[in-house]
Structure 1
Amino acid sequence: MLIQLAHDLPAYFYDVFVTRLDFWLVFGIVAQVVFGSRFILQWIASERAGRSVMPLSFWFLSILGGMMTLVYGFVRREPVIIIGQSLSTGIYLRNLALIFRERRRKRGAA
């Protein structure tokens, strides 16, 4: 069975990435790259700070990548993606609201 799987793997990847290649597949891949880049950004910011930090741009990349992935989910009619990204994007937006509210409060106190 494992040998058959190894033999079928190239055909599987060819089907997924070549046979089905269209605008929306490319869009979905770009969405995942944008979404995933937030972790690289967070890692770089943490290394520079010498501690774990969550830069504001992390949340903007989360929203952009999440919204792009959500659009992809709607176009491809993928309920798992639609549910996951709908909930997640709401959380990202709420985090931004909390960050900006705290910044306003600190400016008001100063």
Structure 2
Amino acid sequence: MNMTRETLWLVIGFIGQIAFTGRFVLQWLYSEYKKRSVIPVSFWYLSIVGSTLLLAYAIYREDPVFIVGQAFGSLVYFRNLQLIAKSKNLKE
């Protein structure tokens, strides 16, 4: 398969968007399963994957608004994982 650079970046952008959207689907289905609103740890991992891929795509596109938005989000997702790990350590 002979893929152009433009096509490759479109694929990266779409994969990032799918991962980013998938986290909302995951959260919704998990909450339905638990019969209460919850956010599973995998939500934050999907957030990081989607955000990182979308950030790479935004950098390639040279879109400063998109770059700033995606870069900030990753900080929040990593922080949530740190808080989850900290709370698990306190319970042990």
TM-score (norm 1): 0.76
Unaligned runs of 5+ in 2: 1-5
Deviation of 1:39 after TM superposition, in Å, equals 0.4
Point out the structure with max Rg over C-alpha: 1
1:37-48 equivalences under 5 Å are 37-48=22-33
Amino acid at match of 2:59: F
Amino acid at match of 1:43: W
% of aligned pairs identical? 45
Is residue 73 from structure 1 mapped to residue 73 from structure 2 by the alignment? no
RMSD over aligned Cα atoms = 0.9
User: Which residue is 2:10 aligned to?
Assistant: 25
**2-structure distance, mates of 1:87, 1:47:** 29
State the secondary structure of the residue aligned to 1:22.
Answer: helix
User: Which residue is 2:3 aligned to?
Assistant: none
Higher RCO (CA < 8 A, seq sep 6+): 2
TM-score (norm 2): 0.91
**2-structure distance, mates of 1:70, 1:37:** 17
1:1-110 equivalences under 5 Å are 22-107=7-92
State the secondary structure of the residue aligned to 1:86.
Answer: helix
Q: How many equivalent residue pairs?
A: 87
**2-structure distance, mates of 1:74, 1:32:** 15
Structure 1 runs of 4+ aligned residues shifted over 3 Å read: none
**2-structure distance, mates of 1:22, 1:56:** 32
**2-structure distance, mates of 1:78, 1:22:** 18
Unaligned runs of 5+ in 1: 1-20
Q: Deviations over 1:32-77 (max 9, x none)?
A: 0011000000011000000000000000000010001011111111
